[in-house]
Structure 1
Amino acid sequence: MKKVYLLIVVLILGLTGCATRVSTSFDRQADFSKYKSFCWLQGCEFTFTGPRYMNDSAVVSNLKNAIIKEMEEKGFIYDAENPDLLLDFHVTVENRQTNVYRFEEDRFLQLDPVDQSDVYYFLEGTLIMDIADRETGQMIWRSSANRYLELNPQMTEKNLRKGIGMVLRKFPPKEKK
């Protein structure tokens, strides 16, 4: 019975834990080819918006470095004096739970639950990136990545860079010809 139970848990967590949902919207009228530089939204001061427990100097530094590196790889330069684009991001982490019901081994195919269930806790994290045209103040890009996380996620630069890469994967949008 434990094998069947374990298999169900592994399948549920495996299927949900692997998927990262990314959604993107942007101003289709904006000419993205004119943008060459970027800075942070709050007066070019890098500020962290997210859970307090993630707001430590190492995580904030890793996040800042990950964003700068991704933007530089896309051909943009960091310019605190006269940027074309202003970037802002938000991190949310929410506690989630799910119930997993146990089945009697001989009644498994009938799918009649026994009055026993286990509660599993996990985190759901979302990273939102907003990009605005500095001159007009208009937001021209928004992308978010949503994923289930470990209870104690590793906030290394490598892991954060992977998340930032997903959010910025389609930035800037390619012109359709």
Structure 2
Amino acid sequence: MKSIQKLTTVLVLFLFASCASVRVASDFDKSVDFTKFKTYAYYKNGIDKVEISDLDKKRILRSIDEVMASKGFVKSETPDLLVNIFTKEREEVNVNQFNDGWGYGWGWGWNPFGFGVQTSVSTNTEGTLFIDLIDASKKEMIWQGEGSGYLTKNTAKKDERVKEFVSKILEQYPPKIQENK
């Protein structure tokens, strides 16, 4: 019995950890010298098209500013890089049904009287944030990072969650180019 309780506890902790984490990936142009980029600005035309609330846009852009400043980048009217963002979201519906063992019926899981059958329905919103870095002089995308994870509607936690998305995505910039040996 104790081993089942331990296993259940581990599974619940794993579930919470996986829901809370942000999964990230990035891609980049391997021919680009990323050390030459020192300044940035936002690609206004692209950001204006993002279909999220203005409050969420401000959260994302503020977080990008914080991370870029921590990496030594400076906002500029004549930038080396243009920063663009876009988002996607997907609603996930989970339906769980289980028999708590009470009631009368034939066979496992079938209960003609409905006693003891529990159903729970929950929804989660998984969002993906893409951050594109564009070489301002060539107007070519040189790096793209994306982060996916569950979103919150709790306004007290939104700032924290957005910062987590942005910081984990931009941890991968500049890319670490591995040389073949």
Deviation at 1:48, TM superposition (A): 6.5
Match of residue 134 from structure 1: 136
1:63 corresponds to 2:64: no
Equivalents in 1 of 2:15, 2:153: separation in Å?
Answer: 13
Match of residue 149 from structure 2: 147
Equivalents in 1 of 2:171, 2:14: separation in Å?
Answer: 27
Which SS does the other structure have where 1:155 is aligned?
A: helix
Contact map agreement 2:40 2:82 (CA 8 A) in 1: yes
Root-mean-square deviation over aligned CA pairs: 2.9
Equivalents in 1 of 2:153, 2:14: separation in Å?
Answer: 16
Equivalents in 1 of 2:126, 2:57: separation in Å?
Answer: 19
Contact map agreement 2:47 2:86 (CA 8 A) in 1: no
Match of residue 70 from structure 2: 73
Please identify, of 164-173 and 16-25, the stretch whose mean Cα deviation from structure 2 is larger: 16-25
CA distances 1:110-136 after superposition (whole Å, capped 9, x unpaired): xx5457532211111111101111111
Moved over 6 A (4+): none
Match of residue 87 from structure 1: 83
Equivalents in 1 of 2:130, 2:74: separation in Å?
Answer: 21
Contact map agreement 1:131 1:142 (CA 8 A) in 2: yes
The number of residues matched between the two structures is 160
Match of residue 172 from structure 1: 174
Which SS does the other structure have where 1:69 is aligned?
A: helix
CA distances 1:122-156 after superposition (whole Å, capped 9, x unpaired): 11111110111111111111111100223445322
Match of residue 109 from structure 1: none
Deviation at 1:64, TM superposition (A): 1.9
Match of residue 99 from structure 1: 95
Question: % of aligned pairs identical?
Answer: 24
Deviation at 1:18, TM superposition (A): 2.7
Amino acid at match of 1:55: D
| TM-score, normalization by structure 1 | 0.75
Match of residue 122 from structure 1: 124
**Structure 1 spans left out of the alignment, 5+ residues:** 107-111
**Structure 2 spans left out of the alignment, 5+ residues:** 103-107, 111-116
Contact map agreement 2:133 2:141 (CA 8 A) in 1: yes
